[in-house]
Amino acid sequence: MTSTSASSLSPAAAPARSRAGRLAGPAVFVGVLAVALGVLPAVLEPFRLNLVAQYLCFAIVGLGIAVAWGRGGMLVLGQGVFFGLGGYAMGMYLTLERVSSDPLSGGVPDFMSWSGISELPLLWRPFAHPAVAIATAVLLPGLVAALLGWAVFRQRVRGAYFAILNQALAAAFVILLINQQHLTGGTNGLTRFPTLFGASLYSADTKRWVYVAVVLVAALVYLAFRQVVRSRYGALLVAVRDGEDRVRFLGYDPTWVKTLAYTLSAMAAGVGGALFVVVMGIIAPSSLGIVPSLMMVLAVAIGGRFSLAGAALGAVLMNAAETAFSESFAGGWTYLQGALFVLVIVFAPRGLAGIAESAAGWWRSRRQPQGSSQ
Amino acid sequence: MTPVAEPLLRLSGIRVVFGSFTAVDGVDLSVAENELRFLIGPNGAGKTTLIDVVTGRVRPSGGRVLFGGRDITGLREHAIVRAGIGRTFQTATVFEQLTVADNVDLAACYRMGPLRLLRRRRGLSDTVAAVLERVGLLALADRPAGVLSHGQRQWLEIGMLLAQSPRLLLLDEPVAGMSAGERERTGELLVEIAADHTVVVVEHDMDFLRRYARDVTVLHEGRVLTEGTVAQVQADERVQEVYLGRNVDVAAPLAVGAEGE
């Protein structure tokens, strides 16, 4: 997932390309997948491999943001909500798996016993089944986004208002989670998951399998969204982004066009959240509020929101940089991140993918004088 | 205006009020099937506002729009397109980031459901190719629409309309800002289209009007001043006065202001 495949996803991508140009994208994709599955597990220690899995969870969220924001022009500043819905759904299953194997628990998670609850609440019961938990992690964020999107886009709410609405949603979600401590574990969130489907999550072997699963899911989401952005619907989404009112006069209702993209991005965030819980062993309000939601969008802006590969790469790079910096000098990262964001907005609004595209375009026009004008 | 059976489009008593300004003040207008109707009038006459009313962009404060006998007043924009009315805009608005072919293709696929839209476009459909050929943009099919010249954009917009095969086409100042050559080309296109479509053209350009118009409706200060053939309208003293800018009252109180554009 590097510059070459990024250029093929640009909305203004030049058509009539050579056979080699058309094959470059898939070749890079297969190459990246081969390295991720074949090389990294062999050379990285389990701790590092787990970190890569964590970055990829955010890459999945980033892919969704690239669809909703990059293609659809919807500034989704509250993806933490959907990330959290997915994360908590999976976290509830993992918690119940621990509880059911612990004879001293009394059948309820410890934070519930602290609140004097001795019987598992109705809300929790379905999550004892992994299938229910996984389905909820994917579908519930989608459902919430679909209902919210339909209501909001129908009223032609857009731009800054939509962004602020999403931020408010993230803030409200965090408050809800903290206040319902007896149901959600409050500020601490859900954590301590010794097993997944019966396998110890502390063993290097299980961690490796989790990593492989995350890589495969990320690849699938990438391929699915690639189909979406390259379909007629993808063109329609760009049209809505650039001229919503004009699209109405083509006979389309922009409401469903935007709602679908928003829903897909929420589902991606839910999937990312569900995997994140398994990888990190914790989901808590502190990783879904306003600031984390902003960071998810920031990473996509830096990677390049018009390109799926750029968005995913941005999420991986930013999270990797965060790890690297907090290991050497904590605190400095926040400033650097802010500076990076300003630089990108001012000098490279299309992000790293845009820089790569311009470089590739320059290289092509140097080789054949009749290059694209963009 | 020849009242043959039920006209395709019938406006009755359309009123549009923006704040204290009355942009359209009780317009009755009928357009028959296969007619080529020009709508002219000085700035602020209410021409574009009238088109906006028909296409659902502006809700009238009074009056009804009947299309093919069906009341379409107050329908949402996309529903009106689906009923069979298409329009272009004064400043041609095309999707610059999409290719010329994608622009026309999207227009052509407006009846597809979401699931079919999620498939990729493979090459050019016959409709899209035919339309691109007709408006002379086939050679530019794969270029982003952003590189088109002003005139080409108008043609692309007309092409997008044709791809939808609407029963009624509303063209808002199609030759505004065009070079002489481009006007000529647009005129030919217009004649071709009018051969098998019902077309309403809003136009300022009197030369263009003289060359291509058949029936003309003159609007002035939100009302219909007169209707007739080009010769009849040109001979009309009131029209000359309006166009020469003399403020001779035409049985209407003077309201001065800009058109809703």
pLDDT digits (tens, 9 = 90+) for A93-113: 999 999 888 877 778 888 888
The helix (H) or strand (E) run that includes residue B87 is strand B85-87
Whether the Cβ atoms of residue B99 and residue B146 lie closer than 8 Å to each other = no
Strands B21-31 and B9-18 come out as antiparallel
- What per-residue confidence (pLDDT) applies to A152? 95
Q: Which residues pair with B171 in a beta bridge?
A: B201
B55, B82, B105: residue with CB nearest A232: B105
Is A373 part of any domain?
A: no
Query: pLDDT tens across A260-283, in order?
Result: 999 999 999 999 999 999 999 999
**Which chain B residues are within 8 Å of A232, Cβ to Cβ?**
105-106, 109, 112, 116-121
Please answer whether residues B119 and A231 qualify as being in contact, where contact means their C-beta atoms are separated by less than 8 angstroms: yes
CB A192 within 8 A of CB A293: no
- Of A131-145, A195-209, A307-321, B84-98, the poorest mean pLDDT is in A195-209
Residues with Cβ within 8 Å of residue A11, at least 6 apart in sequence: A71, A238, A306, B97, B98
List, for residues B181-204, the tens digit of each pLDDT value: 889 989 988 988 898 899 999 987
* Confidence check: pLDDT of A340 > 70: yes
Q: How far apart are CA B166 and CA B159, in angstroms?
A: 12
Residues of chain A positioned with their CB less than 8 A from the CB of B76: 248, 253
pLDDT score of A312 more than 70:
yes
- One-letter amino acid for residue B26 of the chain: G
SS percent in chain A: helix, strand, coil, step 5: 75, 0, 25
Q: What pLDDT does residue B253 have?
A: 39
Q: Which tens digit of pLDDT belongs to each residue from B167-186?
A: 999 999 988 888 888 899 89
> What b/e sequence results for B211-248 when a residue is b if at least 16 CB atoms lie within 10 Å of its CB, and e otherwise?
ebbebbbbbbbbbbbbbbebeebeebeebebbeeeeee
Query: Do the Cβ atoms of A233 and B117 come within 8 Å?
Result: yes
Residue-level length of chain B: 261
Tokens matching residue B105: 């293709």
User: A374 in a domain, yes or no?
Assistant: no
Q: Nearest CA to CA, how far is B112 from chain A (Å)?
A: 10
pLDDT of B246 > 60? The answer is: no
The whole domain housing A157 covers 3-365
Q: Give CA–CA dist A279/A276, Å, rounded.
A: 5
Query: Alpha-carbon torsion A243, A245, A246, A250, what sign?
Result: positive
- Give the residue-averaged pLDDT of B150-171: 92
3-state secondary structure A190-241: EECCCEECCEECCCHHHHHHHHHHHHHHHHHHHHHHHHHHHCHHHHHHHHHH
- Among residues of chain A, what percentage have pLDDT more than 70? 92
Tell me the C-alpha distance between B41 and A206, whole Å: 77
pLDDT of residue A299: 92
Supply φ then ψ for residue A27, to 5 degrees.
-60, -45
pLDDT of residue A42: 85
Query: Are the C-beta atoms of residues B260 and B49 closer than 8 Å to each other?
Result: yes
Residue B243, pLDDT > 80, answer no
Residue with tokens 């940089």: A321
Q: What is the DSSP string of A151-172?
A: HHHHTT--THHHHHHHHHHHHH
Which chain B residues contact residue A248 at CB under 8 A? 76-78, 81
- In this predicted structure, what is the pLDDT of residue A342? 86
Local confidence band at A10 (pLDDT 50, 70, 90 cut-offs): very low
* Mean pLDDT to the nearest integer, A220-238: 96
Position A370 scores a pLDDT of 53
B31 token code pair: 């357009």
Q: Which residue has the higher pLDDT, B205 or A209?
A: A209
**What is the mean pLDDT of the segment spanning B66-95?**
91
Structural domains in chain A (count): 1
Q: Which two tokens stand for residue A160?
A: 């800054």
List residues bridging with A132 in a β-sheet: none
Interface test with A, best of B106, B127, B157 (most A CBs within 10 A): B106
Q: What is the mean pLDDT of chain B?
A: 86
Q: What is the pLDDT of residue B241?
A: 83
Does the pLDDT at position B91 exceed 90? no
Type and span of the H or E element at B194: helix B180-196
Q: Which of B192, B196, B157, B194 is nearest to B175 (CA)?
A: B157
Topology, domain B9-244:
Rossmann fold (3.40.50)
**Is A225 inside a domain boundary?**
yes
Chain B residues whose beta carbon lies within 8 Å of the beta carbon of residue A16:
142
pLDDT in tens, A29-51: 999 998 989 889 888 888 899 99
Residue with tokens 């994917």: A138
CATH of the domain at A53: 1.10.3470
pLDDT at residue A317 greater than cutoff 80: yes
Chain A residue closest to B141 (CA)?
A15
Look at residues A263, A271, A355 and name the one whose alpha carbon lies nearest to residue A310. Answer: A355
A164 token code pair = 């602020």
Nearest to B118 among A11, A228, A245 (CB): A228
The band of B137, judged by pLDDT with boundaries at 50, 70 and 90, is: very high
pLDDT at A3: 37
Q: Residue A21 and residue A146: Cα distance in Å, rounded?
A: 37
Type of residue found at B47: K
Say what the pLDDT of residue A234 is.
95
Helices (H) and strands (E) in chain A, counts: 16, 4
Instruction: State the Cα–Cα distance between residues A117 and A123, nearest whole angstrom.
Output: 13
Give residue A18's pLDDT: 63
ipTM, two decimals, is 0.83
**What does the CA dihedral A237, A243, A245, A246 come to, rounded to 10 degrees?**
-100
Return the pLDDT at A2: 37
For residue A323, the model assigns a pLDDT of 85
Interface of B with A in 60-119 (CB under 8 A): 76-78, 81-82, 86-87, 89, 93, 95-99, 102, 105-107, 109-112, 114, 116-119
CA A218 to chain centre: 9
Cα separation, A207 vs A201, whole angstroms: 6
Please report whether residue A99 resides in a domain.
yes
- Summarised one tens digit per residue, pLDDT across range B12-45 is 999 999 888 889 998 999 999 999 999 988 888 8
Give yes or no for residue A77 having a pLDDT over 90.
yes
What pLDDT does B250 receive? 42
Tell me what pLDDT residue B256 has: 40
pLDDT at A201: 82
